[in-house]
């Protein structure tokens, strides 16, 4: 089942659509956004030089700094009169990135999210509980309008209110819940405390996104809630949720290529990498009027796979994003990603799926402290457990963290709304 036939169109047909839309996008960006006009002029390029997606590599990248430098609306290609909605990225530092949509842009976004829902196995008869935050964050309204576009039922509860979420899952028999992966796990804990077993409820799918979810974490969500976990990806600068999603095969996220053109580049050199090789995802919008974006460096690390998917969709698949190029932690010359710590945390039944990493500097030396939580019913030997966890961490990270704290169940702050923070870097303070 697809929402519209483009998702499974022959690739030559898709390419024609992409090329036509790219030319239109480039023209719009050049004529209406001073930043792009200057960028083209500096590179000695004119819109006529970009005839097809193959010419994209001639263009410089657009970066997060470019958005910051043109805060709040300097990247817009239309007057505010034609913008009917604004949103903002959920960054925790600095100024947020303000993004805007014309009516046509919202229509594209609605359709992109509706495609995602259908790929996730959601149908018009389903009830979708939307636990993404409403407001400037694109998650809430983004998912909401996609559910309406599809003609399914949306419960606009938003983030937080967790006991009420559990009640509604039960009282309205929600088939699907959309939320961050960390919130899905928190929901399971609260349901446990309320004496409700979510696995006995009709809920069958969690559409999670907005933050990384490793495979072990997905398994945990699926087991604790008795659901299929479907990963949805997106970012405000490009549209919001709905850039890509897993289909029921759970084997990569289909990017809606007629709306968003993907490239993967080496994060250090900016050169394209081979298909299947990991690098930074770079996206170009192909159907956005208010905010056309050319070659945007997302910071998210992934690979692309143009192979055929068992679901019949021809749109390329990207791998689940488990890290960002700026997530990389470097301590004492060793590199690691928080997702590697997470994979270890999730291997142990004796600890809960929550952790935090604190980085400190003592003199000239960096220290890594990892804090994990014991499960409520833990009754074993602490020192034995600590030894086993440290051993696994050393194997996976190739160094032994300076400190491993085992704390009581519930001691690590949960996120009720928004994205969870795992890494606290105190080194610059
Ligand atoms: O988080 C949009 C969204 C809302 C996506 C709801 C999915 C569901 P921003 O606030 O602009 O937009 O943050 C975008 O979040 O560059 C990634 O680093 C991260 N991210 C989003 N989805 C995923 C995902 C929304 N499925 C930034 N897996 C992106 C991993 C994700 N990271």
212 lines ligand 1 (CB under 6 A): yes
Q: Is 234 in the pocket of ligand 1 (CB under 6 A)?
A: yes
User: Per-domain residue ranges for the chain?
Assistant: 85-326, 334-425
207 lines ligand 1 (CB under 6 A): no
Tell me what the pLDDT averaged over the chain comes to. Answer: 95
Residues of the chain with confidence (pLDDT) below 50: none
Model's pTM, two decimal places? 0.94
- Nearest partner of 187 among 172, 198, 195, 171, judged by Cα: 198
For 85-326, CATH gives 3.40.50.12780
* Residue 93 pLDDT: 61
Exposure letters 381-408 (e unless 16+ CB within 10 A, then b): eeeebeeebbeebeeebeeebbebbbee
CATH topology of domain 334-425: GMP Synthetase; Chain A, domain 3 (3.30.300)
CA of 392 to the centre of ligand 1 (A): 29
- pLDDT of res. 42: 97
Opening angle at CA 125, ends 119 and 128, nearest 5: 70
Beta carbon of 146 within 6 Å of any ligand 1 atom: no
Place of tokens 């997905």: 218
On whether the CB atoms of residues 126 and 153 are closer than 8 A, the answer is: yes
Ligand 1 center to 74 CA (angstroms): 23
- Ligand 1 probe mutation, 92, 143, 233, most atoms within 8 A of CB: 233
**pLDDT digit string (tens) for 122-134?**
999 999 999 999 9
CA of 387 to the centre of ligand 1 (A): 35
Question: Is the CB of 300 inside a 6 Å radius of any atom of ligand 1?
Answer: yes
Q: What is the pLDDT of residue 92?
A: 57
In the reported structure, the alpha carbon of residue 329 is separated from the centroid of ligand 1 by a whole-number distance in angstroms of 20
For residues 234 and 209, is the Cβ–Cβ distance under 8 A? yes
């Amino acid at each position: 089942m697809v929402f519209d036939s483009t998702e499974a169109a022959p690739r030559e047909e898709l390419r024609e659509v992409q090329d036509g839309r790219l030319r239109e996008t480039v023209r719009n960006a050049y004529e209406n956004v001073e930043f792009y006009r200057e960028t083209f002029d500096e590179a000695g390029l004119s819109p006529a030089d970009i005839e097809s997606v193959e010419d994209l590599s001639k263009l410089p990248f657009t970066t997060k700094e470019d958005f910051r430098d043109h805060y709040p609306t300097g990247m817009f290609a239309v007057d505010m009169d034609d913008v009917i909605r604004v949103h903002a990225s959920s960054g925790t530092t600095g100024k947020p990135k303000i993004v805007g949509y014309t009516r046509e842009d919202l229509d594209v976004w609605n359709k992109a999210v509706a495609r995602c829902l259908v790929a996730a196995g959601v149908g018009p008869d389903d009830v979708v509980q939307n636990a993404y935050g409403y407001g400037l964050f694109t998650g809430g309204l983004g998912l909401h309008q996609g559910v309406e576009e599809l003609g399914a039922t949306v419960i606009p509860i938003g983030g937080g209110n967790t006991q009420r979420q559990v009640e509604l899952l039960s009282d309205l028999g929600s088939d699907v819940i959309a939320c961050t992966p960390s919130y899905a796990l928190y929901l399971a804990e609260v349901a446990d405390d309320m004496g409700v077993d979510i696995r006995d409820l009709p809920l069958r799918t969690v559409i999670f996104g907005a933050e990384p979810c490793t495979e072990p974490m997905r398994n945990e969500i699926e087991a604790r809630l008795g659901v299929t976990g479907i990963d949805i990806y997106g970012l405000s600068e490009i549209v919001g949720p709905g850039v890509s999603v897993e289909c029921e095969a759970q084997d990569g996220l289909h990017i809606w290529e007629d709306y968003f053109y993907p490239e993967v580049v080496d994060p250090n050199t900016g050169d394209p990498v081979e298909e299947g090789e990991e690098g930074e995802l770079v996206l170009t919008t192909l159907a956005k009027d208010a905010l056309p974006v050319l070659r945007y460096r997302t910071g998210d690390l992934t690979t692309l796979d143009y192979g055929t998917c068992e679901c019949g969709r021809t749109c390329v698949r990207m791998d689940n994003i488990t890290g960002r190029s700026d997530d990389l932690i470097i301590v004492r010359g060793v590199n690691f990603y928080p997702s590697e710590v997470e994979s270890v945390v999730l291997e142990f039944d004796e600890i809960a799926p929550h952790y935090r990493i604190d980085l400190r500097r003592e003199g000239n030396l960096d220290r890594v402290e990892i804090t994990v939580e014991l499960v409520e019913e833990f009754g074993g030997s602490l020192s034995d457990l600590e030894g086993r966890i440290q051993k696994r961490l050393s194997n996976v990270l190739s160094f032994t963290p300076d400190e491993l704290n085992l704390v009581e169940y519930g001691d690590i702050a949960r996120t009720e709304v928004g994205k969870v923070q795992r890494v606290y870097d105190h080194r610059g303070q």
